[in-house]
Amino acid sequence: MICPICSHSELKNYLLKDNFNFFQCLNCRFILVDVSGINLSDYYNNPNYLHDKVGKGYVDYEADKAPMRLVYIDLLKKVESYQSGGRLLDLGAASGYFLDVASQNGYSAEGIELNPSAVKEGRERGRKIKLADILKNGYPDDSFDVVTAFDFFEHLPQDKLKDYILTIKKLLGKNGVLAIITVNTASWWAKIFGRRWHTFLPPEHISYFSDKNIRLFLENSGFEVLEIKTLHKRFSLQYVFNFLYRWQGIFLWLSIARFLEKYSHLGRLAIKLPLGDNMVVLARKKYD
Ligand SMILES: [Zn+2]
């Protein structure tokens, strides 16, 4: 096995979880999950992806995402300081909650998403979302000024990472900006929990970057990294307890989540989780 980021050939066994093998590159510390022999598309056709009471999806996507609105607005302002164009494509858009935020902030925004039920739901809400894999997107080159990839890169299989980033590069126009939110293996939270970090969720999460190796990855793919910052995500209280239950399997957390569901004004309270284990990466397409 060869590291998809730095081409180093020494990877060590890192973790075995839910019958999936994790490996870590001894040079750049990139962590990947071996998904050979797995049909990943099976995991993206789940019709209950946005309304999943027991599994790994969202309980109620729109409500769960609402606390992120302020984070998204801040991010869009930052992007605007680098790129004033208004054509925006959101990768892995789900039902497109973010597209509304982008539209309300001056962008002509559309999304692309693999999950048919998520696309259907988003379209019913009047959002423009294409049902397709990004690698077969059908857009002409230079179609967008901004591409956003939130909670996206961790889902990509390592043998396709290069194809995805080069496809994104083609979609961007002159000085186009790519905005990424992904988990950071070099964060304190990740270091404290080590192999018990809650974000190790195969086969959904299979590529894990640090701030250092994502910079390397982007620079080697024809991007100039503009900034990398720690991100504290915002969640609904109900989402937090569901997430704790899924992580630790402690029934009390599920009971609290169910309680909050009944008293939705409580469950919908937005709280900021100061985990700092996500990062925002802004990068600009370089013209070669
Ligand atoms: Zn490496």
Q: Which residues pair with residue 92 across a beta bridge? A: none
Query: Ligand 1: distance of its center to the CA of 28 in Å?
Result: 4
Contact in structure between 165 and 221 (CB atoms under 8 Å): yes
Q: Which amino acid is at 183?
A: V
153 to 32, 84, 174, 179, 258: CA distances (angstroms): 11, 25, 23, 11, 31
Residue 150 phi, psi (nearest 5): -100, 130
Q: What's the CA-to-centroid distance between 232 and ligand 1, angstroms?
A: 26
Cβ burial, residue 288 (10 Å; 0-12/13-18/19+): exposed
If you measure from the C-alpha of residue 217 to the centroid of ligand 1, how many angstroms do you get, rounded to a whole number? Answer: 10
Ligand 1 center–CA 125 separation, angstroms: 42
- State in Å: Cα 25 to ligand 1 middle: 5
Q: How far is the CA of 170 from the centre of ligand 1 (A)?
A: 25
pLDDT for the residue 254 = 82
229-213-84 Cα angle (round to 5): 45
C-alpha 160 – ligand 1 centre gap (Å): 15
How many angstroms does the Cα of residue 158 sit away from the middle of ligand 1? 11
pLDDT of residue 240: 76
Average pLDDT of adjacent 10-residue blocks, the chain of 288 residues:
95 95 98 91 74 57 79 95 93 95 96 95 96 96 97 95 97 96 93 88 94 98 97 78 78 80 73 82 90
pLDDT given at position 234: 75
Report the Cα–Cα distance between both ends of the chain, in Å, rounded.
30
CA of 22 to the centre of ligand 1 (A): 14
29 Cα: distance to centroid of ligand 1 (angstroms): 6
Domains and CATH numbers, the chain: 28-33+40-233+276-285 (3.40.50.150)
If you measure from the C-alpha of residue 30 to the centroid of ligand 1, how many angstroms do you get, rounded to a whole number?
Answer: 5
The residues pairing with 271 across neighbouring beta strands, listed in sequence order, are 235
> How much distance in Å is there from the Cα of 74 to the middle of ligand 1?
32
H or E segment to which residue 243 belongs? helix 237-248
Strands 270-272 and 278-285: unpaired
Sign of CA dihedral 43, 44, 48, 49: positive
pLDDT of residue 58: 62
Cα separation values, 279 from 61, 149, 154, 174, 183, Å: 21, 12, 12, 25, 6
